[in-house]
Amino acid sequence: MGNNRFVAIWGSGGSGKTLLTVKFAKELAAQKKNVLIIHCDDETPVLPLVLPVSENIKSLGNLLAMSNSTQVAVLQHCTVFGSSGYISLLGYKLGENAISYREYSSKDVKNLFNMCRQIPTVDYILVDCSHHTIDNVLTIVALETADAVIKVSNSNIKSTVYIESQKKLLREERFHYCNQINVLNNVLPSQDTYPFREALGGAPYVLSHCSSLEEQYHERKLLDSLYGKAGKKFESVIKQLVKEVFFDE
């Protein structure tokens, strides 16, 4: 693992992809790295879920609809997230959906991702994928082209069944499915994780359920630090993952 600049965060519905993407960005920002997050979800726009304010927000849909976008256009469509200035977001806005803009192709997405990679002020690109894998062009291209894919699953039967089905969908060599990095998230203290780790083919990172995370999520305060034993434990696993997956340590 190590030194991956363009990372896709993918996995089962409601497993914590969006929340973990923001927590990875927060840890990278703490290390003074500039992070660009691309939220793929065009069914439930993510910008209104994570941003505490709604003014001056531009849409990723608008950027993808441009026939010739540039690095400047990418930056103009970003929204700065948090007070550090290290994190920027690209995503869909409140009220938008998959048909709000003209259709875009996988070539358009490849161009956008390449352009993002070439922005000199961007150190890391995190793609918060949709679990509607093949219906979402941003997600499918991210899974194909990312330096690393973090697969998020919950320790329940629904997540396990989803992953088993998606494995077949992503069996082509271009997806490097076997190299995905497995994360088991939202595990309750009393839970036996063994069957779920087995179903994933191993999970080097296990993140516990933390009730203050739910509060943060609902209050749109995911960039705040966590407190208490569960919070500190959660943050230490995030730190370890960032060190091993994003930095070459």
Question: At its nearest, how many Å lie between ligand ATP and the CB of residue 128?
Answer: 7
At residue 4, what are phi and psi to the nearest 5 degrees?
-100, 120
Nearest distance, CB of residue 173 and Mg ion, angstroms: 27
Residue ranges that bind ligand ATP, judged by CB under 6 A: 13-19, 41, 131, 185-186, 207, 209-210, 213-214, 217
Helix residue spans in 170-219 (DSSP H) = 194-200, 211-218
Rank residues 158 and 171 by Cβ distance to ligand ATP and give the closer one. 158
- Least distance (Å) between residue 217 CB and ligand ATP: 3
Residue least distant from Mg ion (Cβ): 18
Q: Which is nearer to Mg ion, 139 or 182 (CB)?
A: 139
Which residues are within 8 A (CB) of 222 and not within 5 positions of it... i.e. 6 or more apart?
19, 22, 23, 26, 50, 216
Closest approach of Mg ion to the CB of residue 36, in Å: 17
DSSP string, 141-175: HHHHH-SEEEEEEESSHHHHHHHHHHHHHT-SGGG
Q: Which does 217 bind (CB under 5 to 8 A by kind): Mg ion, ligand ATP, none?
A: ligand ATP
Kind and range of the H or E element at 26?
Answer: helix 17-30
Judged by CB, which is closer to ligand ATP: 17, or 69?
Answer: 17
| Secondary structure element (H or E) that encloses residue 113, with its range | helix 106-118
* Minimum CB distance to ligand ATP smaller for 9 or for 69: 9
